[in-house]
């Protein structure tokens, strides 16, 4: 890898004083495509995927990219061409998979609130598995499938009651969470599902949270899930695949999550030790496949010195980069062309009329209006969570592949933002 690359960002590096993604200068991209602009490295995505593929070498395993992390068609195509399946959470995401050339047989459908229409669409497309999250959903899915003369393959999402030690909003596997079915009820629900003629039980799944940086919660959840598989099979319902969900964290600010291949070496050792090593395995990584593959470029509009704080006002905002406002999340912010001289401390903020519209707090920067900044770790849960708040069109996105640049999403115009609206008179 490039020796001057940024820690955790192997394909993003300063080359002769200019920040580059692979072989492309970011200042040039900002000039050509404007700002705010998301820039993704294809090599970074494939290298993140390769860590999982190495971890599963020689195993029966299906990697399903949890596409809510970044659902842009151009990103999905990269993963589809690399053989990935997809973890979807809506009919809209299914349509995107199909439009990007993904294989519907490798799609799993998660989420607590699937509508009948979405179930029908997914059955029609021939998806691989529904990850069902409640008894009520089992019954509705059974009826929908029967009415179409089909059988829906199902896995039950169980709640292992394990604390992933992450932000409460992205912690999903504890008692009191809206997700999954309680561990204690799982055997009953499986026996019920096995009796329904519109359903075919194929697996079990869990997903305990996101941005997990330790191995222990994964190991604990695995133990809990394997205990259940033993009980469910003793009750007469065979389980063909075991799906471990996603949740592996990335390095935002010195975080030290395990590498995917190292994590899987430990999880597979446990599966082997407990006699489950030859099962079909599934995983649903999102953030760890795309998060550190992307940056968001933004231009400095104004510097505003203050008595208590200095503000650096940039043209990207919480509608483009919602994670700081939503989770008090940290993103590194660095200049694409560093200047010589002393830095000052700024709060980096966007133009939106909310005090929550900050991108970074207390950052030492040496910048002038017109400079371009790169917000790092912007590949996951940024564009896919973006909005039009303050009637701001969504940013453009480009995919870099070596020295090639592909515009994968055009900048949204203001007209686009209100084209579905009607004046009442």
Ligand X SMILES: *Cc1c(COP(=O)(O)O)cnc(C)c1O
Q: CB of residue 329 vs ligand X: minimum separation in angstroms?
A: 13
282: contact with ligand X by CB under 6 A: no
Q: Is 340 left (phi over 0), alpha (psi -120 to 50) or beta?
A: beta
114: contact with ligand X by CB under 6 A: no
Q: CB of residue 211 vs ligand X: minimum separation in angstroms?
A: 6
70: contact with ligand X by CB under 6 A: no
Nearest to 186, CA basis, from 246, 239, 145, 122:
239
Chain residues 210-239 in contact with ligand X, contact rule CB under 6 A = 210
Determine the interface stretch with ligand X among 13-21, 264-272, 278-286, 402-410 (rule: CB under 6 A): 278-286
75: contact with ligand X by CB under 6 A: no
Q: CB of residue 65 vs ligand X: minimum separation in angstroms?
A: 9
Active site residue 64: no
C-beta closer to ligand X: residue 26 or 248? 248
Beta-strand ranges (E) seen in 177-240 are 181-182, 199-205
DSSP code, position 393: P
Give the SS3 label for residue 375. Answer: strand
Determine the interface stretch with ligand X among 49-57, 215-223, 246-254, 388-396 (rule: CB under 6 A): 246-254
Q: How far is CA 408 from CA 272, 281, 381, in A?
A: 42, 32, 17
Catalytic residue among 20, 206, 312, 353: 353
The rounded distance, in Å, linking the Cα atoms of 195 and 191 is 7
288: contact with ligand X by CB under 6 A: yes
Return the C-alpha torsion angle 225, 231, 234, 237, nearest 10: -60
Taking CB under 6 A as the criterion, the residue among 9, 33, 68, 323 binding ligand X is 68
Taking CB under 6 A as the criterion, the residue among 102, 245, 294, 324 binding ligand X is 245
164: contact with ligand X by CB under 6 A: no
Nearest to 156, CA basis, from 236, 243, 217:
243
Q: CB of residue 133 vs ligand X: minimum separation in angstroms?
A: 9
110: contact with ligand X by CB under 6 A: yes
Location of structure tokens 């997914």: 122
How far out from the chain centre does Cα 161 lie? 22
Determine the interface stretch with ligand X among 113-121, 140-148, 244-252, 403-411 (rule: CB under 6 A): 244-252
DSSP code, position 235: T
Site string for ligand X, 354-383 (x = CB under 6 A): ------------------------------
Site string for ligand X, 193-212 (x = CB under 6 A): --------------x--x--
The rounded distance, in Å, linking the Cα atoms of 257 and 279 is 26
C-beta closer to ligand X: residue 77 or 384? 384
Q: CB of residue 246 vs ligand X: minimum separation in angstroms?
A: 3
User: Which residue's CB atom is positioned nearest to ligand X?
Assistant: 286
The rounded distance, in Å, linking the Cα atoms of 47 and 270 is 25
Location of structure tokens 């299906």: 62
246: contact with ligand X by CB under 6 A: yes
The rounded distance, in Å, linking the Cα atoms of 311 and 304 is 5
Q: Is 261 exposed, middle or buried (0-12, 13-18, 19+ CB in 10 A)?
A: middle
Chain residues 76-95 in contact with ligand X, contact rule CB under 6 A = 87
Determine the interface stretch with ligand X among 219-227, 282-290, 364-372, 401-409 (rule: CB under 6 A): 282-290
The rounded distance, in Å, linking the Cα atoms of 221 and 208 is 8
Q: How many residues sit in the footprint of ligand X (CB under 6 A)?
A: 16
Determine the interface stretch with ligand X among 34-42, 195-203, 218-226, 280-288 (rule: CB under 6 A): 280-288
DSSP of 293-314, one letter per residue? GEEEEEEEEEEE--SS--EEEE
Give the SS3 label for residue 121. Answer: helix
Location of structure tokens 């039950």: 156
Location of structure tokens 């994964």: 218
Determine the interface stretch with ligand X among 61-69, 217-225, 299-307, 370-378 (rule: CB under 6 A): 61-69
Residues forming the site for ligand X (CB under 6 A): 66, 68-69, 87, 110, 207, 210, 245-248, 284-288
């Amino acid at each position: 890898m490039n020796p001057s690359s940024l820690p955790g960002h192997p394909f993003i590096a300063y080359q002769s004083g200019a920040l580059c993604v692979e072989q492309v200068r970011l200042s040039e991209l900002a000039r050509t495509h404007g700002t705010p602009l998301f820039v993704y490295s294809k090599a970074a995505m494939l290298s993140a995927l390769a860590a999982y593929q190495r971890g599963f070498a020689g195993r029966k395993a299906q990697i399903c990219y949890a596409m809510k992390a970044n659902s842009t068609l151009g990103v999905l195509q990269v993963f589809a061409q690399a053989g990935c399946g997809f973890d979807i959470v809506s009919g809209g995401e299914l349509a995107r998979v199909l439009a990007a050339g993904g294989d519907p047989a490798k799609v799993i459908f998660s989420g607590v609130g699937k509508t009948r229409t979405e179930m029908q669409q997914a059955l029609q497309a021939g998806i691989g598995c529904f990850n069902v999250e409640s008894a009520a959903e089992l019954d509705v899915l059974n009826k929908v499938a029967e009415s179409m003369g089909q059988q829906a393959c199902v896995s039950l999402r169980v709640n292992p009651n394990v604390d992933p030690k992450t932000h409460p909003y992205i912690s999903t596997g504890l008692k009191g969470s809206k997700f999954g079915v309680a561990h204690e009820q799982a055997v009953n629900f499986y026996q019920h599902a096995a009796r329904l003629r519109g359903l075919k039980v194929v697996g079990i799944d869990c997903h305990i949270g996101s941005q997990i940086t330790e191995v222990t919660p994964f190991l604990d959840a695995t133990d809990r899930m394997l205990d259940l598989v033993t009980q469910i099979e003793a009750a007469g319902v065979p389980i063909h695949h075991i799906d471990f969900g996603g949740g592996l964290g990335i390095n935002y600010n010195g975080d030290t999550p395990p590498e995917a291949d190292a994590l899987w070496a430990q999880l597979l050792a446990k599966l082997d030790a407990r006699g489950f090593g030859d099962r079909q395995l599934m995983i649903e990584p999102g953030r760890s496949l795309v998060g550190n593959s992307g940056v968001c470029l933004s231009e400095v509009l104004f510097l505003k010195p203050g008595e208590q704080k200095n503000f650096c006002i940039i043209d990207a905002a919480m509608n483009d980069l919602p994670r700081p406002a939503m989770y008090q999340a940290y993103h590194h912010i660095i200049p694409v062309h560093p200047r010589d001289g002393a830095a000052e401390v700024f709060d980096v903020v966007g133009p939106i009329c909310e005090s929550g519209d900050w991108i970074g707090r207390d950052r030492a920067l040496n910048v002038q209006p017109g400079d371009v900044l790169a917000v790092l770790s912007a590949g996951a849960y940024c564009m896919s969570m973006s909005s039009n708040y303050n009637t701001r069109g969504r940013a453009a996105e480009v995919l870099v592949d070596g020295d090639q640049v592909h515009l994968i999403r055009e900048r949204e115009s203001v007209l686009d933002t209100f084209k579905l609206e009607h004046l009442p008179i």
